[in-house]
Amino acid sequence: MADSTALRARDTIYAEGEWRAAVSGATREILDPADARPFAVVAEGDEKDTDLAVAAARRAFDEGPWPRTPVTERAALLRRVADLLVRDREELGLLEAQDAGKTVEEGRVDIDCVADAFRYFADLVAAEAPGRVVDAGSPDVHSVVVHEPVGVCALITPWNYPLLQASWKIAPALAAGNTFVVKPSEITPMTTVALIGLLTEAGLPAGVANIVTGPGHTVGARMAEHPDVDLVSFTGGLVSGTKVAQAAAPTVKKVALELGGKNPNVVFADACATEEGFDTAVDQALNAAFIHSGQVCSAGARLIVEESVRDRFVAELARRAEKIRLGRGTEDGVECGPLVSAQQREKVESYVESALKEGAVLRCGGKRPEAAPERPASGYFYEPTVLDRCHREMRVVREEVFGPVLTVETFRTEDEAVALANDTEYGLAGGVWTADPGRARRVAGRLRHGTVWINDFHPYLPQAEWGGFGKSGTGRELGPAGLAEYRETKHVYQNLAPAPVRWFRG
């Protein structure tokens, strides 16, 4: 472990336009998961810091200019933020890679997507009509439906895509005219802290953007229950999401939850009828399961493959998975980084152990790799793992592992494939591989998942809503629905020629 005394604690709590230390003076070391060494020290906030930040956001909404700033000016600020993200792409991409354990290439792509999100919501809000006119049946009545900001938004984001997930909340919240307090994961807060700095540089008024770095059980819990918070948006696991909803219930605030997934990737034999088709389906199955070490809510962690091609498909999948180059994301040639923490790796190990006890067949991986110059022994690395002969009763098939573990199930008929794919408490995303366009549309239409990819896996479009069915949550991010999450609807009825009703004679 490095001498952490060489690292200066940063004031990473931002409220009412000022960077601050925690009220308690507490700090937290931020570890690089590639070697478990600290590379930063941040303020460790608690309920008192949260109250200060919420109060700042409340004043800025009730008394400040931002909610009443013209839409064109709000959109212009979001575009300036996008430009600043492009300017700082290399620095932010590297910081995201070090903080979350992903490759620098993945980090750069994330920053590009963050900039796209800010531009998208700027364009969306700038192009909107001022209101929807409702015909009241009288020329003396002007009736219009308008959208207004919700108010103070509490934004709680996960550790796997720190800046990307924050942008999916912050950009629409600002576009709609809200103020906010964001709590990044205590494990990966660094790029969200940097984003708050860019918002300030772009000219956002003091108090509109606030951040509290600290743990979920204090900061997140207080944000969810706070009476001055009008909306809480949470992305993370099912257990924590349930607690957020329960904490928010007494104040009847708006709640948006984007939770986990156990996502099927269904491969029909006809998709593998040619060598090119087979190669593409295998390659995309690897991408679906192992990008960012499987630490993705939409990961295609359940491979459901037609029985006639299963043996060949799984054999080639395992062969390629063994060749994935693990290491520190900043090293050349590295394809996959470590898990985010020792706790996360232990969780993955427990799932693999239980699967083997329940009868799964290990095709590759299933252990920590040997140390190498680009892969320190102290890092939280775990080999890409393929588990064959799996079935629905196994924990590893039912529950979200959030690691580089791919389970394999088989089917014989289209109905069986659909039944297996839908046999989950979650309903976030899924993929379908087939050369038959009619089958593709049929199966996609029958899958109970918020996003369905056909002959692809993982792309998202800023203009398309992102959300899920079942226990994958109730929130919608991106697209017009993502903006709508941060608004209230008001009906304004104006009588231009009022007259007595004379119901009451008096």
Query: Is 258 a residue of the active site?
Result: yes
Helix axes 190-201, 71-87, angle to 10 degrees: 130
Neighbouring C-beta atoms of residue 504, cutoff 10 Å: 6
Give CA–CA dist 25/11, Å, rounded: 10
Q: Which residues of 205-290 form beta strands (DSSP E)? A: 209-211, 231-235, 254-258, 264-267
DSSP, res 27: E
Residue 92 structure tokens: 């932010």
Of 214, 217, 115, which is closest to residue 170 (Cα–Cα)?
A: 115
Percent helix, strand, coil in the chain, to 5, is: 40, 20, 35
**C-alpha span between 296 and 110 (Å, rounded):** 13
Three-state SS at 314: helix
Which letter does DSSP use for residue 158 in this model? -
Catalytic residue among 258, 349, 383, 485: 258
Q: At a CB cut-off of 8 Å and minimum separation 6, what does 477 contact?
A: 168, 169, 172, 235, 256, 258, 465, 466, 467, 485
Across 389-483, the runs of DSSP E, i.e. the strands, are 405-411, 426-427, 429-433, 451-454, 469-470
Q: Could you give the CA distance from residue 330 to residue 16 in angstroms, rounded to a whole number?
A: 36
Query: Distance between CA 159 and CA 152 in Å, rounded?
Result: 23
Q: What's the gap between Cα 169 and its chain centre?
A: 9
Residues 6 or more apart in contact with residue 66 via CB below 8 angstroms: 60, 74, 177, 179, 204, 205, 208
- Residue 353 makes CB contacts below 8 A (sequence gap 6+) with none
At 248 the three-state DSSP class reads helix
Within 8 A by CB and 6+ apart from 186, the residues are 28, 44, 213, 214, 215, 216
* Active site (annotated) includes residue 297: yes
What residues contact 329, with CB distance under 8 A and at least 6 apart? 34, 97, 98, 101, 102, 103, 104, 106, 107, 337
Q: Which of 297, 336, 364, 390 is catalytic?
A: 297
Nearest CA among 387, 394, 293, 395 for reference residue 344: 293
Place of tokens 């609807």: 489
The catalytic residue positions are 258, 297
